[in-house]
A and B are shown apart, each in its own frame.
Chain A
Amino acid sequence: GAGVSQSPSNKVTEKGKDVELRCDPISGHTALYWYRQSLGQGLEFLIYFQGNSAPDKSGLPSDRFSAERTGGSVSTLTIQRTQQEDSAVYLCASSLGLGREETQYFGPGTRLLVL
């Protein structure tokens, strides 16, 4: 596609439910990142994937968070047993590679609200 797309754009769920957020990166981009942006906070790195390498999961806040990237393209971020503090905008970005001057292209985000 022309840009990074994410779905759903908005998600409201009840505390304790599981949610799945999807990211479609730009075609040909080997690197894919997930970030979380809470109200009034900077972007918080969660996880990134690069090609077939093992993902860097160092930013995942707890074991309730996991992510997959199938076929080196689409990625799914799963949050199990959601908590109210998980409410945030979840942003996905992709880049051609991991070079130090690579530009990350961001999707519009998924706004998650946990009631």
Chain B
Amino acid sequence: KNQVEQSPQSLIILEGKNCTLQCNYTVSPFSNLRWYKQDTGRGPVSLTIMTFSENTKSNGRYTATLDADTKQSSLHITASQLSDSASYICVVIRGSGTYKYIFGTGTRLKVLA
């Protein structure tokens, strides 16, 4: 079954601290993996896109990793800011030719001052 599981479900950290969010998937055939940030009341916004051959990709303070062998990805946030408070959604794109988006349920991050 094609699934994307994220952990933790929710996370509270202090401003300035780092954190790592996890994503495990059982999607086949794998095309690419994306991390989205969704602010409350807004649509998701793409942070990173990683293909099979990419292990690490950064976008400012966000760094995503991908281990295609173990089918795991992580999103590391460095020096968190209050504005990082949001849901972070892992999405795995399945297929070749015709693509299906498989969404995780997200990790809700709250950054406290």
* A: contact size bracket: 20 to 34
Q: In chain B between 74 and 113, which residues have their CB closer than 8 angstroms to a CB of chain A?
A: 89, 93, 96, 98-101, 103-106
Interface segment out of the listed A13-21, A67-75, A76-84, A105-113: A105-113
A74 to B14, alpha carbons, bound, how many Å? 43
A-B contact number at CB 8 A = 51
Residues on A facing B (Cβ under 8 Å): 4, 33, 35, 40-45, 56, 91, 93, 98, 100-101, 103-109
Which 10 residue pairs spanning A and B have beta carbons closest together? Answer: A106-B43, A42-B103, A43-B103, A42-B105, A100-B31, A103-B46, A106-B44, A107-B43, A108-B43, A91-B43
Q: Given A33-B101, A40-B105, A109-B41, 15 more contacts at CB 8 Å?
A: A4-B43, A35-B103, A42-B103, A42-B106, A43-B44, A45-B100, A45-B101, A100-B31, A100-B32, A100-B93, A100-B96, A101-B51, A103-B46, A104-B46, A108-B41
